[in-house]
Amino acid sequence: MASDPRSNSGASQTGQAAGAAADFAKLFSEMKLPAMPDMEAFLAANRRNIETFTAANRVAMEGAQAVVRRNMEIMQQNMTELTEAMKSLATVDGPQAKAAKQAEMLKQAYERAVANMQEVRDLIQQSNAEALALINRRFVEAMDEVKALAEKH
């Protein structure tokens, strides 16, 4: 009787899989895993990470609130100035005088808008810089902690 070629390849594949599993087990057993770090130090480091992210989030939120407050102040200021501008234009006689007054008001409004945008930009940049500085400082500390733990073992 001739043997079925499929049965030989099945046995061959089973043998190869067993060999591969044995090779993997051997490699895994020879692997040197680092010792488990001091759990108290590990938990303390994570607590400092959380505190840092909480502080950075607080700084970012305070910055966002400052931007919103300043935008509201700018809006109120713009409304007041618009009302005064309309009153001022109503008292100007002659089309040439009105055109000159409108051009001057437009120039002033543009200059204030640019200054306001720069002020808001500066508020945002300052807030972001403060939050990022907190995170960067903690990252450096964390890397020093990891280095110290690695040197212990």
> How confident is the model over 31-82, as pLDDT tens digits?
655 555 677 888 898 999 999 999 999 999 999 999 999 999 999 999 999 9
| Structural domain that includes position 11 | 1-33
Cβ neighbors of 119 (< 8 A, separation 6 or more) are: 70
- Above 80 in pLDDT, residue 29? no
- pLDDT at 137 exceeding the cut of 90: yes
How many folded domains does the chain comprise? 2
Q: For the whole model, what pTM was predicted?
A: 0.63
129 lies in the same domain as 78: yes
139 in the same domain as 67: yes
Q: Does residue 60 share a domain with residue 48?
A: yes
Which amino acid type is present at position 34? P
Residues 109 and 148 in one domain: yes
Amino acid 131: pLDDT: 96
Residue 121 in contact with residue 71, Cβ under 8 Å? no
| Same domain as 41, residue 69 | yes
Are 25 and 52 part of one and the same domain? no
Nearest to 142 by CA among 30, 19, 18, 51: 51
The confidence band for 152, taking pLDDT boundaries of 50, 70 and 90, is confident
22 with 49, same domain? no
Distance from C-alpha of 144 to C-alpha of 139, rounded to nearest angstrom: 9
